Amino acid sequence: MSDLETLLALALVGTARGTLPTPGHGALDHAAAQVTRPEAEGTLLARAVLHTLAHAAGRAPDPASDPPPAPAPAETLPEVPERAARHLPLVLGTPLLREWLALCARTGWRVPPARLPELLDLARHDGTLRAALSPVLGERGAWLSQFNPEWRFTPPTHGEDAWAEATEAGREALWRGVRERDPQAARDLLTTHLPTERAGSRKRLLGALLDTLTPDDQTLEPLLDSLTTDRSDDVRTLARTALHRLSGSAQNARNAARIHALVTPRKTGLIGRLTGQASHTLTPPTAPDEHATRDGLPDKPGATELLTHLLEHTHPDSLLAALNLTPEALSDLAKHHDVIAALASNARATGHSLLATALLRQAPGDPGLLATAGTAPLHRAILAALPARQPDTLLPLLDALPAPWPQEIGTQVVTALRDTIPDAHYAGAWGYRWSQILDLTAQRTHPHTPPPAPLSPNATEYAHRVMNELRATLELRRQLSHDFGPGAG
């Protein structure tokens, strides 16, 4: 019996019924003899700990039950150079991380291998960060993700069973990756797998489809139409939304026939002919509609309720053709029946610039319509609103402006921030809207936007701190643009 086994046996019966064994003559036994405590129990436990540690330290590892994994494939992208990589620790955990990743992807580089675990952890619960990270993970990042279930949102790159082995998030990432490389292959992937996916996965994949929908996806109409009777409310809604945005869908054709029967033009009098305005009456349907449930119509709607639904959920091209109206006349019809909001929502959802332009006559300050009508109307609206220094007006307009903002707009916004903050002692005194505009400016203005001019020495400590932080952020973004190479900004 070994010394450790003797000690364990004595521990079972107690030191009151036995004596401590005399250590042997080996090196470990000699070390154990030096371990003493005032009580016999303490000496026994201390010597047992020593023997246990020695046993564990000298124990050979068990043979692996599974073969070791294959090494990571050779990298196909160059690693980001140190001049750009040095900024990564500064932007980790901040909104600027997305900009760093986007610049890295644009230049065709991959992230430093040592940063992969930290980046994968940050992206676990952030879909936008996952999309930005995937192109720059490199082969090692994709390989590493297979060893942690929470990292399996990265697109699998090897093996025929990639789809079956992926999580719901992984399947979405895989599909998005295929979508970028080969849109038709991505459509085939949906046709094959979507009908048998779980509801959560169907929602993810339909959401990814809506994010990237193009007219070429008209071939998916049979699949989408079958999902309008899905058992999941969310899946049904997403499928109808996709069919709504595909102008040639049968759902749009049915809605066009409904609105054609609902809206009846009246004879135009002299004033109507002179002004170019026509009037209409609404005639609610009386016959049953066999496709009402499939197309998401309200239950037993009145005439105005049905008009509201159709104006919001029928593609503008189908509406204009069914009613034989210009965008301006359709806008007037919606205004007459007080349903401008429904038609405006439709124009924004479908990106219909002509209808958005016509609706701006009724809703001239709507940020979504301005953005849909084109960048020029939105730029003009922002430049016109800036002199008034009204943050409630500016914030939604700036939020609708894609990044990076033109330098002219960015410069004037920075000036407005500087002009309105000097007397503020804290964020609430400045105004929550101005704080939001500050955050947007720091992240979206062009990286070469000039920093704010120095404040007066009489400005508050809070004002100086905020402007210094904005100045530092703009300088960091300018340096990022420079270090990632020409044209990176």
Give the per-residue pLDDT at 277: 60
Q: Is residue 106 part of a domain?
A: yes
Domain end (from 372, 403, 427)? 372
Q: How many CB atoms lie within 10 A of CB 327?
A: 20
Do residues 216 and 279 share a domain?
A: no
φ, ψ (nearest 5 deg) of residue 110: -120, 160
CB of 98 closer than 8 Å to CB of 444? no
3-state secondary structure 288-326: CCCCCCCCCCCCCCCHHHHHHHHHHHCCHHHHHHHHCCC
Q: Is residue 264 part of a domain?
A: no
What Å distances lie between residue 255 and 252, 259, 279, CA to CA? 5, 6, 21
Give the per-residue pLDDT at 150: 81
Q: Is residue 66 part of a domain?
A: no
Give the per-residue pLDDT at 6: 81
Do residues 280 and 360 share a domain?
A: yes
Do residues 383 and 439 share a domain?
A: yes
Do residues 227 and 306 share a domain?
A: no
Q: Give the C-alpha separation, 269 to 282, whole Å.
A: 18
Q: Is residue 308 part of a domain?
A: yes
Q: Is residue 76 part of a domain?
A: no
Give the per-residue pLDDT at 158: 40
Give the per-residue pLDDT at 270: 52
Do residues 339 and 386 share a domain?
A: no
3-state secondary structure of 133: helix
pTM of the full structure: 0.74
Do residues 348 and 408 share a domain?
A: no
Do residues 383 and 365 share a domain?
A: no
Per-residue pLDDT of the chain (489 residues; tens, 9 = 90+): 677 788 888 888 887 788 888 877 788 888 888 888 888 888 888 988 888 888 888 777 778 778 888 999 999 999 999 999 999 999 998 999 999 999 999 999 999 999 999 999 998 878 778 888 989 999 999 899 888 888 876 655 544 567 887 888 888 888 888 898 899 999 999 999 999 999 999 999 999 999 999 999 999 999 999 999 999 999 999 999 999 999 999 999 999 999 999 999 876 655 554 555 667 889 888 888 899 999 999 988 999 999 999 999 999 999 999 999 999 999 999 999 999 999 999 999 999 999 999 999 999 989 999 999 988 999 999 999 999 999 999 999 999 999 999 999 999 999 999 999 999 999 999 999 999 999 999 999 999 999 999 999 999 999 999 999 999 999 999 999 999 986 454
Q: Is residue 252 part of a domain?
A: no
Do residues 135 and 185 share a domain?
A: no
* DSSP per-residue letters across 68-101: PPPPPPPPSSPBPPHHHHTTHHHHTTSTHHHHHH
Domain end (from 151, 184, 199)? 151
* DSSP per-residue letters across 209-271: HHHT--GGGGGGHHHHHHHTT-S-HHHHHHHHHHHHHSTT-HHHHHHHHHHHHHEEEPPP-HH
Domain end (from 103, 126, 151)? 151
Give the per-residue pLDDT at 483: 96
Nearest Cα to Cα of residue 245 among 207, 208, 217: 217
Do residues 317 and 230 share a domain?
A: no
Do residues 108 and 179 share a domain?
A: no
Do residues 206 and 296 share a domain?
A: no
Q: Is residue 253 part of a domain?
A: no
Nearest Cα to Cα of residue 189 among 156, 143, 148, 237: 156
Give the per-residue pLDDT at 368: 94
Domain total of the chain = 5
Per the structure, the complete domain to which residue 120 belongs is given by 82-151
Do residues 388 and 439 share a domain?
A: yes
Give the per-residue pLDDT at 159: 42
Give the per-residue pLDDT at 271: 54
Q: Is residue 115 part of a domain?
A: yes
Give the per-residue pLDDT at 276: 52
